[in-house]
Amino acid sequence: MDLTKFVEHHNGISVIRGGESVRSWNGIEYQAGLSAKNVNVKHLSMNVATVPPGAVAFAHVHVGFEVMLYILSGRVRHEFGDHLKQSVENGPGDFIYIEPGVPHEVFNLSDTEPVVAVVSRSDADEWAHIVAYDRATGVTGDVVPSE
């Protein structure tokens, strides 16, 4: 998808006006957001993500980059760590930081309401450095493809 069509460039300031979800990755819907795909950024990306009701973003690991989230609405559970044996739940107003290399799986706790979050990464390539994680074996696998 050509994400440049969503961006207004203004002599060093780039803008995306609010909008609808335009793509998805691992069961999560994303607005266009800003990344190396559409602006001259080197180390960051930012999106608004929506986890549909009842959806799961299957287990994965961020390789070599940090992620911060701010939950706007809905309730989410992250199962994380070795074999995903730990968990934490979050709701509106919560900030979440995920260190590089931490295996995690994301669950929308509602069957009727989406989770909406602002997601920021220290990787301008967004999903290029995310690998699948097998909770049973604790082994990482192939890069999780974007949809």
Computed on alpha carbons and rounded to an integer, the radius of gyration of the chain in Å comes to 15
In terms of Cα–Cα distance, which of 96, 126, 100 is closest to 31? Answer: 126
Task: Give the CATH number, domain containing residue 135.
Answer: 2.60.120.10
SS3 71: strand
Residues 87-114: tens digit of each pLDDT: 999 999 999 999 999 999 999 999 999 9
Rounded Cα distance, 116 and 49, in Å: 6
The pLDDT tens digits of the residues spanning 44-60 come to: 999 999 999 999 999 99
Report whether 53 contacts 113 (CB < 8 A): yes
Confidence tier at 122 by pLDDT (50, 70, 90)? very high
Q: Is 80 exceeded by the pLDDT of residue 74?
A: yes
Give the range of the structural domain holding residue 138, as residue numbers without chain letter: 3-143
User: Which three-class secondary structure state does DSSP give residue 84?
Assistant: helix
pLDDT confidence band for 126 (50 / 70 / 90)? confident
As given in the structure block, the two tokens for residue 24 are 């998805």
Cα distances (angstroms) measured from residue 85 to each of 24, 88, 97, 137, 138: 27, 11, 18, 12, 11
Q: How many domains does the chain have?
A: 1
Instruction: Give the three-state DSSP class for 109.
Output: coil
